[in-house]
Amino acid sequence: MIELLIDYQWEIFVIAEVLSMAALLLFGIVRYLLNKHRLSRLFLLGFLILLGIEAVLAVLIYRDTGQLSTFQIIITIFVIYACTFGIFDFMKLDRWMRKTIGRWRGVDLLTAKDYRIMERNKDPKFIAKKYRWSSTAHLIVFVVVQGIFWTYGTDSFEEMLGYLTDFSWIESGTAADSPYANETVYGIGTVWGIVFAADFLYSWSYTVFPSSVRR
């Protein structure tokens, strides 16, 4: 059984992600278009079950192989996202579905609180504050996970400090000269570093240049 899971781990992951997105969309359709609130909760529960299946799959494969692979790392990132930023993105999706489906039905499904939130999201100062918070949270997650990566690839704290004070290992472009344990983790760590830097600069640009709202 475990061999089958290992052989088709990526296929299972992709199918689970597609079903997860479908579950969220069906949640909105059933809840707001068909007006069946109780039934819609089953789709939300299905999304949570699929997320749990992904996490369990990663754990089972790790226990069998004893190795940290790209698969486990990607699922970990997806699960962390779903439990943090994903919640806020779901709330935005929920408001969008209520606005869109309400327009189709000719009814207003948005609440007074929704309108306040939508209006607040047009305020440059609020947006700057929101991006400062999200970039700080991203920074904490980035540092913690990168610290875990480096722990696997180094033998001591002193060695880690050496990599922090001398970045010549970045120029070599190989895992052997880096604080990462293997090429897979090295690739993920460096790409994430680039994405993090771009996201951090973009987020703080709202504070440095708050004069207009970018859509």
The Cβ of residue 23 has, within 10 Å, a number of other Cβ atoms equal to 19
Question: Cα angle at 83 between 79 and 89, to 5 degrees?
Answer: 105
Task: Assess if residue 139 is contained within a domain.
Answer: yes
pLDDT at 211: 63
Distance from C-alpha of 187 to C-alpha of 200, rounded to nearest angstrom: 20
Distance from C-alpha of 61 to C-alpha of 178, rounded to nearest angstrom: 26
As a whole number, mean pLDDT of residues 23-41 equals: 94
Residue 215 has pLDDT above 60, yes or no: no
Please indicate, yes or no, whether residues 104 and 125 belong to a single structural domain of this protein: no
pLDDT at 214: 52
Task: Assess if residue 115 is contained within a domain.
Answer: no
pLDDT at 173: 83
Distance from C-alpha of 143 to C-alpha of 137, rounded to nearest angstrom: 10
In one-letter notation, the amino acid at residue 12 is I
Task: Assess if residue 151 is contained within a domain.
Answer: yes
Q: Is the pTM of this model over 0.85?
A: no
pLDDT at 212: 54
Supply the range of the domain harboring residue 16: 1-108
Q: For 101-154, how does the pLDDT look when each residue is reduced to its tens digit (9 = 90+)?
A: 999 999 999 999 999 998 988 889 898 998 999 899 889 989 998 999 999 899
pLDDT at 51: 93
Best CA proximity match to 70, nearest among 9, 144, 19 = 9
Listing DSSP states for 73-86 in one string gives HHHHHHHHHHHTHH
Find how far residue 78's CA is from the centre of its chain: 5
Distance from C-alpha of 98 to C-alpha of 87, rounded to nearest angstrom: 17
Please indicate, yes or no, whether residues 135 and 203 belong to a single structural domain of this protein: yes
Please indicate, yes or no, whether residues 5 and 40 belong to a single structural domain of this protein: yes
Task: Assess if residue 116 is contained within a domain.
Answer: no
Report residue 31's pLDDT band, with 50, 70 and 90 as the boundaries. Answer: very high
Please indicate, yes or no, whether residues 66 and 150 belong to a single structural domain of this protein: no
Q: For 184-196, how does the pLDDT look when each residue is reduced to its tens digit (9 = 90+)?
A: 888 888 888 998 9
Q: For 52-85, how does the pLDDT look when each residue is reduced to its tens digit (9 = 90+)?
A: 999 999 888 888 887 777 788 788 888 888 888 7
